[in-house]
A = this chain, B = another copy of it.
Amino acid sequence: MRAGEMAEAYPVVGLDTSALVAARFIARDRLPGIVVTEADGSPKAVLAASQVVRFMVPDYVQDDPTLAGVLGDVPAARIADRLRQVKVAELLPEKPAELAVLHADDTIVEVAATMARLRSPLCAVVDHDRILGVITASRLLDLVCGEQFG
């Protein structure tokens, strides 16, 4: 089995995509993150789910998490509004983690080695710069040693 066969089709987002749209893709597919592409469609970065979660929290609470407790119950709609107002580009760290990019003919061990080296929960599989799909760490574990193998 090679990376091209292991890849699953998931939506990707651009730097200009609304953070709320990215959050909803991650939520709907219960993904650990989502692939961010350049304007030409080539993969640029992984936006981890926890990076989106980070933006749900006001800046001053990010700096001092003990303040989260005194805020009380913030309506979910107000948090969603925060995400609606920013783009994916603003959620990425200044130096985004190296994107795990695999090629369609990479072997299981190559997929695992890349994912492990980058400690990435997901990687993009490309064929000549075109994204074929995504492999999550849990998908890889399922394909290699899932319950179907008894």
Contact of A50 (CB < 8 Å), options: B61, B72, B119: B119
Q: Is A120 an interface position by the 8 A CB rule?
A: yes
A116 x B62 contact (CB < 8 A): yes
Tell me the complex Cα distance, A143–B24, Å: 10
In the assembled complex, which residues on chain B have CB atoms less than 8 Å from the CB atom of A54? 112, 115-116, 119
Tell me the complex Cα distance, A53–B144, Å: 10
In the assembled complex, which residues on chain B have CB atoms less than 8 Å from the CB atom of A72? 107
Most chain B CB atoms below 10 A, which of A57, A62, A136, A142: A57
From A25-33, A35-43, A124-132, give the one contacting chain B.
A25-33
In the assembled complex, which residues on chain B have CB atoms less than 8 Å from the CB atom of A31? 138
- How many copies of this protein are present in the complex? 2
Q: Is A83 an interface position by the 8 A CB rule?
A: yes
Contact of A108 (CB < 8 Å), options: B76, B109, B145: B76
A138 x B27 contact (CB < 8 A): yes
A26 x B57 contact (CB < 8 A): no
Contact of A116 (CB < 8 Å), options: B53, B138, B145: B53
A109 x B145 contact (CB < 8 A): no
B1 x A138 contact (CB < 8 A): no
With A50-B115, A115-B53 already in contact, the answer to whether A73 and B141 are too (CB < 8 A) is no
